[in-house]
Chains A and B, each alone.
Chain A
Amino acid sequence: MADPHRIPRRRRGPLQVALSGVLVALVLVVEVLILQAYANVNRTTAIFGEQSFLNSTLVNAQREALLLEDEIEDLPTTSDLKGVRIRRGLLVNQLRQAEGQIGDAQVAQTLAQARQDLALIDRHLSRIEADPSRVSLRVEVAAMKPAAHRLLVSIKQLFDTKEQALFGAVSGALNARKSSERLLVGLSALVLLVGLALALSLRQRVRKDFARAYAALTVEVDERKAAEQALRASEERFRSLVQNSSDVISIVDADGAVRYHSESVRRVLGYDPGELVDGDPLTLVHPDDRERVARFVAEAGLRPGVTAAETWRVRHRDGTWLHSETVAANLLEDPNVRGLVLNTRDVSDRKELEAQLVHQAFHDGLTGLANRTLFTERVEHALARSDRAELAVLFIDLDDFKHVNDSLGHAAGDQLLVAAARRLQGCLRPSDTAARLGGDEFAVLLERVTDADAAGGVAARILDTLHQPFGLNGRTIPIKASLGAAVGRPGAHEADELLRNADVAMYAAKAGGKDRYELFHPDMHEDMLQRLELEAELRHVADRDQLVLHYQPIVELVSGRITRVEALVRWDHPSKGLLPPSAFIPLAEEQGLIGPIGRWVLLQACLQAQRWQDQFPDAPPLSVHVNLSGRQLEEQQLVGEVVQALETAKLSPRLLTLEITESVLVSDIEAMSARLRELKGLGVHLAIDDFGTGYSSLSYLRRFPIDMLKIDKAFVDGIGRGREDTALAHAIIKLSHTLQLHAVAEGIEEAEQAASLIALGCRDGQGYHFSRPLTAAAMTELLGKTLAAGGFHLPNAAAPVESLSG
């Protein structure tokens, strides 16, 4: 891989290559020239030396030749033959010298000529020696002279030539030298220039390379610095991570001894890191967890890598227990660590949250009681116990809680539930469990009850406690409840069964009139089953013509005249016979089946009223009373249904009176008020049924367009039994007068009661004293009978007795 910081080793640029080549070539040329010049000088010197030696030899030779000529000429006078011979020898020696120096053709030719002349001279000298006479001397000398002169001349000519050649050679050599020197100087200058250019170019190049290298070096230094910084930063980050981490990071030796704790151990466990080092880490661990922790550490030491997280309890310095979660990384092989790195964090909050979530999953958010899941589990648990102790399950349903919720708001309802829960719990032992199963339904598990009676005792106590007045929004209301209890035994009962039994008992209590408790017995199951059956049958009761209307007359007390008739629905059950409204109307309301029943009743009552109208056209008009349930009033389509019933029956609205119970009115005053006004707008009359039993305040009587109050049987029953009860009835009647409402007394069973009511100013009444509810046919018969007396006069109508009021 190429190192990016490596300075690229570039080849020389073309300019430098060219310059270098030129420089080397020039230097070589110069060197060659210098050598040549040197050689030339040497050769010139040698040649010069040779030439000058030759010349001097030739000069000497000339001299010797001249002297020889002279001596030969003088020979006749001197006769010095010996001197001539010496001179001749000297000349020959000189010529020999010259010949030895330069063997060129001219010299050779001259010397050859000279040798001939010398030979001639020698011959003549020999003749003189042979005949040293004067005559001979003269003759020989005369014969020698031309030769001697010729010798001289030829030597002189040779000398002249050689001298000229010498000067020529010298000046030629000098000239050649001069031109070669000029060339050398020129070349040297060129070498200098090229060298300078190369040096400059190289310098530039070196500078460039240096700059590049420096830049690369700078970059590398920067990078290295950055890398070091990054490393340092990362180390610091790591250190700070370790130091400031909320986790405790510990290093433990293979044998389990702690070598290091991070700073965070102070924050998490309250110890100085140094305090714990070298100690046995297990001392801080909860004794129950120690074995597990030791195993965890031992196993982490055997396997490379990171373990799964384990949680255990660790003691803080202040003695509290924390939940810690630890992960171990085996770095025994890592030369930097050589230990187990434990990462421990405080998960107490999480544990608490988990516990909270678990609690929430098993507890009711509002009251904090156990929820159905937990309750069921507890019951199952109790039933699974081996001690076979009996246990009891109580089901508690608050009575009429819906009315509290509707009239006082959900917040008040919630307060009531919380209060009920608290009271419930107050009645129990710690081992018992109270639960809210939903809505206004509570349950209690009583562990280890001796028998059913003991359970009953607790049930009674619970109802008592609930009864204590409860302040809500400035009002004091009692909490009433229906309670069912079932006793079970491990091995004999299943949890589901027990819960169902308690539920059945609770329904039995409700069915039995509320605000009471019932202990389960197997018959209740039968009742319950019947109830369920009834429920199923109820769905089709309106379609199957199983409903019948009975009619009870309402009598003008003073006259005994039947002015009104209350329509009362009966279920003509195929197997059970006639069932009263209380046996199925609440059930129908509960199951949402009241709609069709209500419509049927309304229409039938109107039709019957119109029928009577048709049958007895001369009799005074007979009003018909129809009961409306709360559910019906809530229905939007009620008004339309009333209209339709009236139209279908062609009944005048004023002959229809709708009865509603007091409790219905308090639920939603605004909506109810509007609904009642609509009905009133149709021209029908409105009556309040069972007046005096509900939570009604008097104020609403003015707000609602009410025409009539039907005084509850409870008040009527009291009349004549005591002054207070009579006064109460009187007060109600007076109230109706004050509000200009028509008062009807219900449940009159005795003549005295009727008489008292007349005395109190009550206008109308109904009850067994006058007539039980009758079938339509029986009612028609009764009406027919009474009509004879100039109206619907009941024969047993009480004649006005003595006024009590005086």
Chain B
Amino acid sequence: MGRSIRLVVVALVAALAVAACGGKEEAPATQAAPDASTPKVVDDGTLAAGEQISAPKGDVVLTVSGDIGTANKGRKLELDLASLEKMRRVRLEAAEPFLKRRVVFEGVLLSDLLEVAGVPDSASKVSLTALDDYKVDFTVADVRSSQMLLATKADGKHMEVDHSGPIRIVFPDSSTLGRNPDLWIWSVATMKVA
């Protein structure tokens, strides 16, 4: 008589186990090699913090304003791709949420940019605006801890506007912020520090 009860219990447990397994269906398909997915310095660059940045010669890709210590046009700091690429360059491989594939990005750490722009320790917020007026805010702390990258190249090539260029924010796989695709702002045009 105990067998029938046992049978029911076993069936229930099995069913629950199957259900539990079902819950893990969406686990990450592939784990990137740690060396590729962690930001790696490609070139230490020539532009260091505290240095004067000359006015851009090419198209300005990023205008930094707000609470910054370094400016080259009034109170603003205008940067073209060449200026940006003089800074310490970093490469990382990340899962691009919109293309849904891994892309090797190259660019500067946004935190490095804050140093170069002479953002003081008192600054707390970084607001980024894209060419299409899309806007994302980060805390300075997040910027410094998350190793988010202001990418200038994807898969070794500079990016056109129709390919989310010329510069965009990307996150390493390890970053929790990066799990929100809304924060992957592309065609970044301005940065305001407050």
Interface set of A (CB-CB < 8 Å, partner B): 12, 16-17, 20, 23-24, 27-28, 30-31, 34-35, 38-39, 42, 60, 63-64, 85-86, 88-93, 96-97, 100-101, 195, 198, 202, 205-206, 209
With a cutoff of 8 Å between Cβ atoms, the chain A residues found around residue B162 in the complex are: 88-93, 96
A209 to chain B: closest residue by CB: B1
Q: Which secondary structure dominates chain B's binding surface? A: helix
- A27-B12, A28-B15, A93-B164 are contacts. A20–B7 as well, Cβ < 8 Å? yes
A31 to B13: give the CA distance in the assembly, Å: 11
- Bound-state CA distance A97–B164 (Å) is 10
For the complex of A and B, list the 4 residue pairs with the smallest distance between their C-beta atoms, beginning with the closest.
A89-B161, A92-B162, A31-B15, A89-B162
Q: List 26 A-B contacts (CB under 8 A).
A: A12-B1, A16-B1, A16-B4, A23-B8, A24-B7, A24-B8, A27-B11, A27-B12, A28-B11, A35-B18, A38-B19, A42-B26, A63-B132, A64-B132, A89-B131, A89-B165, A90-B131, A91-B162, A93-B161, A93-B163, A96-B163, A97-B98, A100-B99, A198-B4, A202-B4, A209-B1
Q: Which of A91, A92, A93, A100 has the most CB of B within 10 A?
A: A93
Closest A residue to B97 by beta carbon equals: A53
Report the minimal beta-carbon distance from A65 to chain B, rounded to whole angstroms.
12
A60 to B187, CA, bound (A): 14
8 Å CB interface, B75-103 against A: 98-100
Point out the residues of chain A lying under 8 angstroms from B26, CB to CB.
42
- CB neighbours (8 Å) of A63 from chain B are 132
Chain B residues positioned under 8 Å from A34 (CB to CB): 19
Q: Which residue of A lies closest to B165 (CB)?
A: A89
Extra contacts, 14 of them, besides A20-B8, A35-B18, A93-B164 (Cβ < 8 A), are: A24-B8, A27-B11, A27-B12, A28-B11, A31-B15, A31-B19, A39-B25, A85-B161, A88-B161, A90-B162, A96-B163, A198-B8, A202-B1, A209-B1
Could you say which interface size class chain B belongs to?
20 to 34
Q: Is B29 an interface residue (CB 8 A)?
A: no
Q: Does B28 contact A (CB under 8 A)?
A: no
CB proximity of A648 to chain B, nearest CB, Å: 122
B127-165 vs A: 1/0 string, CB under 8 Å? 000011000000000000000000000000000111111
Give the shortest distance, in Å, between A687 (CB) and chain B (any CB): 124
Which residues, 7 to 41 on B, are CB-close (under 8 Å) to A?
Answer: 7-8, 11-12, 15-16, 18-19, 22-23, 25-26
Residues of A contacting B22 in the complex (Cβ-Cβ under 8 angstroms): 35, 38-39
Main DSSP-derived SS at the A contact region: helix
Flag whether B186 is at the interface (Cβ < 8 A): yes
B131 / chain A contacts, CB cutoff of 8 Å: 86, 89-90
Most chain B CB within 10 A, of A42, A89, A205, is at: A89
- Asked if B100 contacts A100 (CB within 8 A), the reply is yes
**B19 CB contacts on chain A under 8 angstroms:** 31, 34-35, 38
In the assembled complex, the Cα of A89 lies from the Cα of B4 at a distance in Å of: 68
- Please name all residues of chain B whose beta carbon is closer than 8 Å to the beta carbon of A23 when the two chains form the complex: 8
Residue of A nearest to B187 (CB): A90
Q: How far is the CA of A42 from the CA of B5 in the complex (A)?
A: 34
Q: Give, as a whole number of angstroms, the nearest-CB distance from A647 to chain B.
A: 121
CB distance from A62 to the nearest CB of B (A): 12
Taking the closest CB of chain B, its distance from the CB of A290, in whole angstroms, is 75
C-alpha spacing A344/B129, complex, angstroms:
128
Residue interface bits B108-141, CB-to-A below 8 A is 1, else 0: 0000000000000000000000011000000000
Chain B residue nearest to A17 (CB atoms) is B4
